[in-house]
Amino acid sequence: MSAHWLAPSILSADFARLGEEVDAVVAGGADLIHFDVMDNHYVPNLTIGPPVCAALHKRGVKVPIDVHLMVRPVDALVPEFARAGAGFITFHPEASEHVDRTIGLIREHGCRPGLALNPATPLDWLDYTLEKLDLVLVMSVNPGFGGQQFIPGALRKLEQVRRRIEASGRAVRLEVDGGVKVENIQTCARAGADTFVAGSAIFGSADYAATLRAMRAELAGA
Ligand code: DX5
Ligand code: ZN
């Protein structure tokens, strides 16, 4: 399996100081910046959009921006986030009218496509898409808010997706998102995750770099 990647979610950052917050987690060893986009329609919360992504990109953030779209519809935002400097663009299949078309659109715009699976979303969505994806995101909470409790059923799903990725022979990242902390990150890695989103666990801690180091140490023992 490829190296573990840590993806702090800026949903729990201090938005009034967003640039500095991002710089701090990148300096502390973040591999990606996880960027949660919510539309108060697909999910009951409203966050940030392409101008904020563009501002971070312009600031010169040195790691890829991992855009997680919790919006419906999806397609119109793809070119906008591509222009705003997104690296990965991940969306929820239930939110797109034509999932294969959306994956193609993300690729055509030079970004890396990901598919996000909610706690109750079956793996069947991967049957005809995995060969075109660069990332599968397993939600370990229901999307919409930071700071929720990890849903243990996500572990079995991670194991199942990991088996599918291995069978595909492709280098697809397996990301887990929601309720990930120092205490459970090793369990997630053992279940097959290689990319770890953590919002409140990092930005809610007193020392971001120390928390990232503690996560890294747990992963080294996985
Ligand atoms: C939830 C978002 C997550 C969120 C995770 O809908 O997709 O990325 O920021 O926050 P924590 O790590 O606090 O559960
Ligand atoms: Zn997310």
* pLDDT tens digits along 8-39: 999 999 999 999 999 999 999 999 999 999 99
Please tell me the total count of domains within the chain.
Answer: 1
Residue 177 designated active-site: yes
Widest distance between CA atoms in the chain: 44
**Which atom of ligand 1 lies nearest, measured to the CA of 142?**
6
> What ligand has the least distance to the C-alpha of 67?
2
- Which residue puts its alpha carbon closest to atom 9 of ligand 1? 146
- Which residue puts its alpha carbon closest to atom 7 of ligand 1? 143
The arithmetic mean of pLDDT across residues 165-176, rounded, is: 98
- Single out the catalytic residue among 31, 66, 134, 177: 177
In angstroms, the CA 185 to CA 198 distance is 9
Please compute Rg for the chain using Cα positions: 16
The arithmetic mean of pLDDT across residues 88-114, rounded, is: 98
**Which atom of ligand 1 lies nearest, measured to the CA of 198?**
12
Structure tokens at 150: 């990890």
- Tell me the average pLDDT of the chain: 98
Residue 36 designated active-site: yes
- Single out the catalytic residue among 36, 39, 66, 134: 36
Determine the pLDDT at residue 73.
98
CB 118 within 8 A of CB 94: yes
pTM above 0.95, yes or no: yes
Q: Residue 114 maps to which CATH number? A: 3.20.20.70
Query: If we measure between CA atoms, which residue out of 89, 177, 171 comes closest to residue 131?
Result: 171
Determine the pLDDT at residue 1.
45
Q: Where in the sequence is the domain holding 70, given as residue range(s)?
A: 5-220
pLDDT at 172 over 50: yes
What digits encode the pLDDT tens for the residues 184-201?
Answer: 999 999 999 999 999 999
Return the exposure string of 133-165: e unless at least 16 CB atoms fall within 10 Å of the residue's CB, then b. bbbbbbbbbebbbbeeebbeebbebbeebbebb
In angstroms, the CA 211 to CA 168 distance is 34
Determine the pLDDT at residue 188.
98
Instruction: Tell me the best of 37, 140, 197 to mutate to test the pocket of ligand 1, counting ligand atoms within 8 Å of each CB and taking the most.
Output: 197
pLDDT-derived band of residue 2, with 50, 70 and 90 as boundaries? low
